[in-house]
Amino acid sequence: MFRPLFKILSPAGSSAKLSIFIFHRVLPAADPLMPFEPSARQFEWMARLLARNFTVLPLREAAQRLMDGTLPAAAAAITFDDGYVDNLEVAWPILQRHGLPGTFFIATAFLDGGRMWNDEIIEAVRLAPSVPLDLKAFGLGQYQVDGVESRIACYSAILGQLKYFEHDRRAQVAQEIGRQSGVPEHCNLMMTSSELRTLRAAGADIGAHTHTHPILECMDDLRAFKEIEEGKLELEAILGDSVQLFAYPNGVPGRDCSERHGEMVRHLGFEAAVTTEPRCSNRSANPYHLSRFTPWDRTPVRFAVRCLMQLRKN
């Protein structure tokens, strides 16, 4: 019902705007501890809404047509970050049912049984017994974990503090907190290399997201360059194909990544890169700093209105 409005706010051609959506996980069933990640049931209506209101293109094509001034009205692209196995098992079948293309940005270090530091913390808090969780040894304080709300508040606070720790220290502290709570070392949260090839063979676009998911702005340029390069080369070795798209980890321009990293990405042969600056992109956008936003609303009308408001912003 919103499609005419989307077309007015985002006309075809040289004044077109591109909406790029970010997702991370799509949970098989709702997880009370992760209310920010859509369940399969919620993603089903989101996909239907996107299919009805937008012309969803593969991101590579959308970025090229944005620059060429040939985008259709209400153009959009759908992206997923990090490489969760639920992208293949839950999200992809839903996208396919609705005829929607998707681009998946993979941090290669966590393929084949790895776990990202933030998931280590969430699992540690999930498993922690209902007594105050004492993380004073890590300089992270003490937290109540006697209910779902307090557990969410606890891991959110820890994630907020740990996010800008030095990269190696962050991984080490997260691992130690995980060990303290008995989080198993090996897990199947992320895709295997073979599952990634399956996703590619099914028609998904695969993009790079560095090797170990550092905040690039928090490390020296040589290390940042190597992280971007290693992620690309590893993915290309796994897929036997070139990788042309990149997503900056965390991705807030000026805080997490900068023009310097855009230059590195261009130098490494990528065609386009995406940030997490929450807006739409127009033809004057830098193709190495395309904006994306996370649709977090959990009712279809609010979700659609949020997408319309993004289009009105620029």
* 227 counts as binding Zn ion under rule CB under 5 A: no
Question: For residues 237-296, which are near Zn ion according to CB under 5 A?
Answer: 249
For the CB of residue 249, give the shortest distance to Zn ion in the complex, in Å: 5
For the CB of residue 99, give the shortest distance to Zn ion in the complex, in Å: 26
Q: Which stretch binds Zn ion (CB under 5 A): 14-22, 81-89, 258-266, 277-285?
A: 81-89
Between 119 and 271, whose beta carbon lies closer to Zn ion? 119
Q: Which stretch binds Zn ion (CB under 5 A): 75-83, 135-143, 146-154, 159-167?
A: 75-83
For the CB of residue 278, give the shortest distance to Zn ion in the complex, in Å: 15
Between 82 and 123, whose beta carbon lies closer to Zn ion? 82
| Neighbouring residues of 294: CB distance < 8 A, sequence distance ≥ 6 | 21, 22, 23, 276, 278
For the CB of residue 283, give the shortest distance to Zn ion in the complex, in Å: 27
Between 2 and 117, whose beta carbon lies closer to Zn ion? 117
For the CB of residue 49, give the shortest distance to Zn ion in the complex, in Å: 24
Question: For residues 182-221, which are near Zn ion according to CB under 5 A?
Answer: none
* 82 counts as binding Zn ion under rule CB under 5 A: yes
Between 82 and 119, whose beta carbon lies closer to Zn ion? 82
For the residues of the chain, what is the DSSP string, one character each? Answer: --HHHHHHHS-SGGG--EEEEEE---BSS--TT-TTSPBHHHHHHHHHHHHHHSEE--HHHHHHHHHHT-PPTTEEEEEEEE-BHHIIIIIHHHHHHTT---EEEE-GGGTTT---HHHHHHHHHHHS-SS-EE-GGGT--EE--SSHHHHHHHHHHHHHHHTTS-HHHHHHHHHHHHHHHT--S---SBPPHHHHHHHHHTT-EEEE--SS---GGGS-HHHHHHHHHHHHHHHHHHHTS---EEE-SS--BTTTB-HHHHHHHHHTT-SEEE---SS-B-TTS-TTSB--B----SSHHHHHHHHHHHHHH-
- Using CB under 5 A, pick the residue from 81, 120, 217, 234 that binds Zn ion: 81
Between 207 and 249, whose beta carbon lies closer to Zn ion? 249
Q: Which stretch binds Zn ion (CB under 5 A): 53-61, 77-85, 138-146, 225-233?
A: 77-85
For the CB of residue 6, give the shortest distance to Zn ion in the complex, in Å: 27
For the CB of residue 247, give the shortest distance to Zn ion in the complex, in Å: 7
- Binding interface with Zn ion (CB under 5 A): 81-82, 249
